[in-house]
Structure 1
Amino acid sequence: MNIKKAFSNSLLSLLYKKPLSKITIGDLLEDTELSRQTFYNHFLDKNDLIAYVYDTVIVNRFNEEMSIDFKSALTQTLNSVKKYEAFIEQACLIDGQNSLKEHMLNHCIEFDLKWHEYCIGKPLSKELKFAILYHTNASHCMVLQWILDGVNYPRPKGHGLVTAQSY
């Protein structure tokens, strides 16, 4: 049995019953019939479980080798964000220690630095590293705003909204 996956599935299914902020470790234990010690053997806290769901369900392709098809991975990620919109939006509203917002930023920084170094084929210059960090932080803010605005894709004026499936 994959314990982490059991807690992940439980968290996502409990979202149909109550808001993420109201789901407790006790709720997860009752739903999975696993012990508190088992939970804490695998996760630091609920935010750590939320980050695990993000890593394995939402951005799982971006945890692969750098030779991924970037467009395909991005499209899959956008579709996952749309599919798990309730989870991601509610998770991004939670502040505090090891919040998803912080985890997302760290994940993006780590990926972007590795991706650019992979593409260039050599260590990044100080200037390029700064530019990548600047862009990553700006992109992170934009993605958070997009998530909190309801995961809608803007289209050129007069064309309505585009869904993730359109890309």
Structure 2
Amino acid sequence: MTGSLITKKKIAKVFKKLVSDSGFEKVTIAKIMQESNMRRQTFYDYFQDKYELADWIFQQEAIEKIEDNLAYEGWQVIVENLFVYFEENQLFYRKILLFEGQNSFQEYYTQHLEVLISQVLVIKDQSSGEMKKSDRLFLEEFYANAFVSLTTKWIIEGCKVDAHRFSEQMKFAFLIGFEEK
């Protein structure tokens, strides 16, 4: 691991703790760097602001579970791993989701889910070969937005259903939607 990645991860770890404890809006760059025992300028060597840091954390931790595994894991396993990740980090994501401001988490999450859903639809279409591109794009957007909406609700409500069960429910909804008519 390079020094810059180690530094980014240290900053991210402190940021996640502060957000979980205080909420996104109360966390400042000064607090992050004071808790990290680093100079304030070091933050700006890696991130423009806390929004970019929050996006980097999502990219590094959650998106890794989607895009890095697409080539060798089935989509069902990826979905389950993603919900386990969210459950383990629910306090952080709850605070991020409750913050209504620029660079929304939902927007980033939706974009990355469309990639996963596209893969599922491509596999489905290989068997039938009948799906129009416009229909596939509509389904990618529809399912990604439904997925994000339900995930957001699940996290904000405290992950009352465990990640494995919630994952099963989401996979069931996808499978029902993809059944042949």
Shorter-chain TM-score category? 0.7 to 0.9
The question of 1:18 aligning with 2:22 is answered yes
Alignment partner of 1:37 out of 41, 47, 53: 41
The CA deviation at 1:75 is 1.9
Task: Report what 1:94 is aligned to.
Answer: 99
Task: Report what 2:146 is aligned to.
Answer: 138
Q: Distance in 2 between matches of 1:130 and 1:165?
A: 28
The CA deviation at 1:113 is 2.8
**What per-residue deviation string (whole Å, max 9, x for no partner) do you get for residues 67-126 of structure 1?**
223222222221111111110100011122212122212222244335534665699711
Map 1:88-127 to 2 at 5 A: 88-117=93-122, 120=125, 125-127=133-135
The question of 1:57 aligning with 2:65 is answered no
Task: Report what 1:70 is aligned to.
Answer: 75
Q: Distance in 2 between matches of 1:47 and 1:78?
A: 22
Give the aligned residue type for 2:44: Y
Q: Distance in 1 between matches of 2:81 and 2:116?
A: 16
Query: Greater helix share, 1 or 2?
Result: 2
Structure 1 residues without counterparts, runs of 5 or longer: 154-162
Q: Relative to 1, partners in 2 of residues 1:39 and 1:120: Cα closer, same or farther, differing over 3 Å?
A: farther
> TM-score, length-normalised on structure 2?
0.73
Map 1:153-164 to 2 at 5 A: 153=161, 163-164=162-163
Q: Distance in 2 between matches of 1:9 and 1:119?
A: 39
Deviates more, 1:74-83 or 1:35-44: 35-44
Q: Relative to 1, partners in 2 of residues 1:120 and 1:13: Cα closer, same or farther, differing over 3 Å?
A: same
Query: Does the 8 A contact of 1:55 with 1:63 survive in 2?
Result: no
Give the aligned residue type for 1:164: A
Give the aligned residue type for 2:23: P
Q: Distance in 2 between matches of 1:65 and 1:78?
A: 14
Query: Does the 8 A contact of 1:66 with 1:115 survive in 2?
Result: no
What percentage of aligned pairs have identical amino acids? Answer: 19
Query: Does the 8 A contact of 1:91 with 1:100 survive in 2?
Result: yes
> TM-score, length-normalised on structure 1?
0.78
Query: Does the 8 A contact of 1:66 with 1:118 survive in 2?
Result: no
SS of match in other structure, 2:22: coil
